[in-house]
Amino acid sequence: MQFVVVHEVPGTPGRLRLRTLHPLSQRQADRLGQQLEAFGGLGDIRINPRTGSVLFWYADAAVRQSVCLLLCGADVPAMPDTPPPAAHEPQPGQRLEVSLLNYFVLRPLLPLVVRVGLTVWRAIPYVARGLVSLLRGRLGIEALDGAAILVSLLRRDFKTARTTMFLLGLGGVLEAWTRQSSLASLTESLALKVGQVWVLRDGIEVATDMDAVQAGDIVVVRDGGAIPVDGVVVGGEAMVNQASMTGEPLAVRRTPGASVFAGTVVEEGTLHVQARRVGGETRLHQIIKFIDESEALKAGVQSRYERLADMAVPFTFLLSAVVWLITRSPLRASSVLLVDYSCALRLATPLAVLATMREAVQNNVLIKGGRYIEALAEADTVIFDKTGTLTRALPRVEQVIPAEGSSRDEVLRLAACLEEHFPHPVARAVVRQAEKEHLMHAEEHTEVQYIVAHGIASIWRGRQVLIGSRHFVEGDNGVDVSPLQKQIDRLIGDGFSLLYLAEGGRLAGVLGIADPLREESAAVIRALHEEGIDRIIMLTGDDRRTAKTVADKLGIDEFRAQVLPADKAAVVQQLNREGRKVMMIGDGLNDSPALSAASVGISLGDGADLAQEVANVVLLDSGLTSLFVARRLARASLTRIHSNFWLTMLLNSVFLVGGLAGALTPGTSALLHNATTLGIAVRAMRPLLPEGQESPLSRPDDGQ
């Protein structure tokens, strides 16, 4: 099982993340941990078996090269069915138990001289890390901890030194545990746990390990079974619950030719699924990968608070020196050293980000990193693509109007013949209508050419045929559409989107397409206005009059009609130049440039794969209601992060004053400081949206 480098922050020390395409078993992760611990110069090794991710800090380039040679060029053998050896580092929960046992049970039984010797021995790493930090020119938390412990040892206050180290160790264990449990809880809600699956081999069902399944294999899934791959149904029929992927509470019927995704469940029936994506390539695994990589996407507020935390350390040293010069009391000076603002600041903010991402997933929203939480909260402009976003993306052909010299059936037949080659919702609507009317459309045209957001061109019976927007047919190809102008005006006035069909340089007919609005669209627009969004814009390729009809129904004041893909991105970029913070919502292939250009790009769960890949936030239930939920979660998260900052500053300042006044001993200061850090960490992980809270989306729509 080979690893590849996926992200690196070079330096001395440097940070490196590697990943394998398949999840690791716990035994493989244990084995890998042992191998990495054998290297000198590695620190803070983190292995996530579910995502196949390995993250570590390395001391220098030589250490990095050695690790890469091991992981990127060699297989990681599976560990035999035996417990991991005692040398392997225990998990945070185990380390906590050992720490408490040693401090409260074993230590009091030891002779005094042994306790003093152990205290000095345990202090050496803290002091050494502090000295290394100073030699590297960094006056950070390591230097602060080392100085506080060294002062206690020099004063022969071994009890304070011992208590300080115990609390620092306890704080580290609790930090690791809270981080691990938060991330594990988030990925656990998404992880697919499948050991063996049934695969058809020469017509016979064979039990196969999931790791051995490859693209092209046909997997058999029966009642109650989880579908383990992304693929297409090639046999059988079943009702499939897709709540894990789309949020839909009701099962949907899946028959041959339909796509299915890993993590969805067969409620009734049997399916034969030909695998297209397996293991790390499935859409479900990609979602988990986004979460695992979220640490590389810190929110700006998180970085700011970490910088403030670093700035507080020199201030603490300076204040301690001033206290010693004025009072000549080492006790009061060391009490100042033990009150550190940075611990809670560094721990609470990333935990709040993880908790927000976890709660978002529970509400069918995937947020791909902390910076996008901040962008969601601070957005002041929202841009909606119309088709498939504000509308249901279930268009239907309502009217087919032939031009002189053409018949209605021939217009619909030829339109379906061209459109069947493309998966756009409008194209599917044309094909469905032709099938409904039993109009067979034989393949008599040459290879079709698809011009994104314009239309389709081909050669049929020796003549050029075109189908698409008015801009494409009339503006780009010079086809006169005036013979049907009266009918065109009527269709536009009724709110239809239009497809123009031309044959041999003349207009053959017009198709009126109805794309019903999503039931929640108007309520979401209203709720966003109430949440402080002062500018909402709709982009569409439709005619201006059609666009205005839709905008008026939804309460949108600003829209752009006949917009091309490049124009969508240009609109976003212009707003960026104006200093606006833009939230772009779209679901199509041609929305991808605009999604990339926005402060935060949002795609629907049933949107194009590229749109979901490019987007920073994915609405997994494919509905707009969760957009409002995402916005409210983000704002609540930012409010909590800010309040945690001020609470940290207030409480630690109180402890600092208590130390200066001599009311708090160094041990008490350390205890209160660590208790505060833990309390704020727990507060950071609490749910953001209380159950039963009324949503503006549940209120009447006031006739809009």
Contact at 8 Å (CB) between 491 and 514? no
Q: What is the pLDDT of residue 559?
A: 92
* Residue 537 backbone class (left: φ over 0; alpha: ψ -120 to 50; beta: rest): beta
Contact at 8 Å (CB) between 518 and 386? no
pTM to 2 decimal places: 0.56
Q: What is the pLDDT of residues 587-610, one digit of tens each?
A: 766 677 788 788 888 988 776 655
CATH number of the CATH domain containing 72:
3.30.70
Asked, as a colleague might, if the bond just before 111 is cis with ω within 30 of 0, I would say: no
How far is it, in rounded angstroms, from Cα 547 to Cα 566? 19
Which range, 22-26, 66-70, 125-129, has the best average confidence (pLDDT)?
Answer: 125-129
Domain boundary among 266, 281, 296: 281
Q: What is the mean pLDDT of residues 475-482?
A: 89
Could you tell me the pLDDT band of residue 274, with boundaries at 50, 70 and 90?
very high
CATH number of the CATH domain containing 238:
2.70.150.10
Q: What is the pLDDT of residue 448?
A: 67
The half-sphere exposure of 61 on its side-chain side, counting CA atoms within 13 A, is: 0
3-state secondary structure at position 397: strand
How far is it, in rounded angstroms, from Cα 194 to Cα 183? 21
Q: Report which of residues 371 and 413 the model is more confident about.
A: 413
Residue 415 domain boundaries = 396-514
Q: What percent of the chain has pLDDT over 70?
A: 70
Nearest residue to 222 via CA among 238, 243, 233: 238
Is 155 within the bounds of a domain? Answer: no
Is 686 within the bounds of a domain? Answer: no
User: What tokens were used for 202?
Assistant: 């020469």
Domain count, the chain: 3
Helix/strand/coil (H/E/C) assignment for every residue in 25-47: CHHHHHHHHHHHHCCCCEEEEEE
Place of tokens 């480098």: 5
3-state secondary structure at position 256: coil
Q: What is the pLDDT of residue 234?
A: 92
Is 261 within the bounds of a domain? Answer: yes
Least confident of 241-245, 420-424, 527-531, 640-644: 241-245
Q: What is the pLDDT of residues 343-385, one digit of tens each?
A: 666 667 777 887 888 888 888 888 877 778 888 888 999 999 8
Q: What is the pLDDT of residues 84-134, one digit of tens each?
A: 333 344 444 445 455 556 655 666 677 878 888 888 888 888 888 878 877
CATH number of the CATH domain containing 504:
3.40.1110.10
H helices of 20-137, in order, are: 26-37, 61-71, 92-101, 112-135
Q: Count Cβ neighbours within 10 Å for each residue of 535-553 and write b for 16 or more, e otherwise.
A: ebbbbbbbbeebbbbbbee
Domain boundary among 64, 89, 114: 89
Q: What is the pLDDT of residue 703?
A: 37
Which range, 68-72, 345-349, 416-420, 571-575, has the best average confidence (pLDDT)?
Answer: 571-575
Domain boundary among 59, 89, 119: 89
Nearest residue to 225 via CA among 271, 191, 281: 271
Q: What is the mean pLDDT of residues 333-350?
A: 67
Q: What is the pLDDT of residue 409?
A: 92
How far is it, in rounded angstroms, from Cα 623 to Cα 611? 15
Mean pLDDT of all residues in the chain? 75
Nearest residue to 554 via CA among 537, 571, 569, 568: 537
Q: Report which of residues 183 and 514 the model is more confident about.
A: 514
3-state secondary structure at position 252: strand
Nearest residue to 336 via CA among 124, 153, 147, 133: 147
Residue 83 has pLDDT above 90, yes or no: no
Q: Report which of residues 126 and 169 the model is more confident about.
A: 126
Residue 188 has pLDDT above 60, yes or no: no
Catalytic pick among 30, 217, 340, 385: 385
How far is it, in rounded angstroms, from Cα 432 to Cα 438? 10
Contact at 8 Å (CB) between 499 and 525? no
Is 16 within the bounds of a domain? Answer: yes
Q: What is the pLDDT of residue 509?
A: 95
Q: What is the pLDDT of residue 308?
A: 65
Q: What is the pLDDT of residue 338?
A: 63
Q: What is the mean pLDDT of residues 464-469?
A: 88
Could you tell me the pLDDT band of residue 497, with boundaries at 50, 70 and 90?
confident
User: What tokens were used for 672?
Assistant: 């209160």
Q: What is the pLDDT of residue 89?
A: 43
* Residue 461 backbone class (left: φ over 0; alpha: ψ -120 to 50; beta: rest): left
Q: What is the pLDDT of residue 443?
A: 56
Nearest residue to 555 via CA among 582, 513, 524: 524
Q: What is the mean pLDDT of residues 40-58?
A: 73
Residue 629 has pLDDT above 70, yes or no: yes
Q: What is the mean pLDDT of residues 415-443?
A: 78
User: What tokens were used for 274?
Assistant: 């030909």
Place of tokens 């397996």: 278
Q: What is the pLDDT of residue 90?
A: 47
Q: What is the pLDDT of residue 700?
A: 42
* Residue 370 backbone class (left: φ over 0; alpha: ψ -120 to 50; beta: rest): alpha
Is 664 within the bounds of a domain? Answer: no
Q: Report which of residues 134 and 421 the model is more confident about.
A: 134
How far is it, in rounded angstroms, from Cα 683 to Cα 230? 38
Q: Rounded to 5 degrees, what are φ and ψ at 563?
A: -95, 130
Is 94 within the bounds of a domain? Answer: no
Q: Report which of residues 246 and 481 the model is more confident about.
A: 481
Cβ neighbours of residue 602 closer than 8 Å, sequence gap 6 or more: 583, 584, 585, 586, 595, 615, 616, 617, 618, 619, 627, 630
How far is it, in rounded angstroms, from Cα 528 to Cα 137? 48
Q: What is the pLDDT of residues 141-155, one digit of tens each?
A: 677 677 777 877 877
Cβ neighbours of residue 442 closer than 8 Å, sequence gap 6 or more: 417
Q: What is the pLDDT of residues 288-327, one digit of tens each?
A: 554 454 444 444 555 565 566 666 677 777 877 887 888 7
Q: How many CB atoms lie within 10 A of CB 189?
A: 13
How is residue 445 annotated by DSSP? B
Q: How many CB atoms lie within 10 A of CB 321?
A: 12
Q: How many CB atoms lie within 10 A of CB 200?
A: 16
Residue 611 has pLDDT above 70, yes or no: no
Q: What is the pLDDT of residue 79?
A: 34
Q: What is the pLDDT of residues 484-493, one digit of tens each?
A: 999 998 988 8
Is 445 within the bounds of a domain? Answer: yes
Q: What is the pLDDT of residue 110?
A: 75
User: Is 385 a residue of the active site?
Assistant: yes
How far is it, in rounded angstroms, from Cα 312 to Cα 308? 6
Is 477 within the bounds of a domain? Answer: yes
Residue-level length of the chain: 704
Q: What is the pLDDT of residues 233-273, one digit of tens each?
A: 999 988 887 655 544 445 677 888 887 877 777 877 889 99
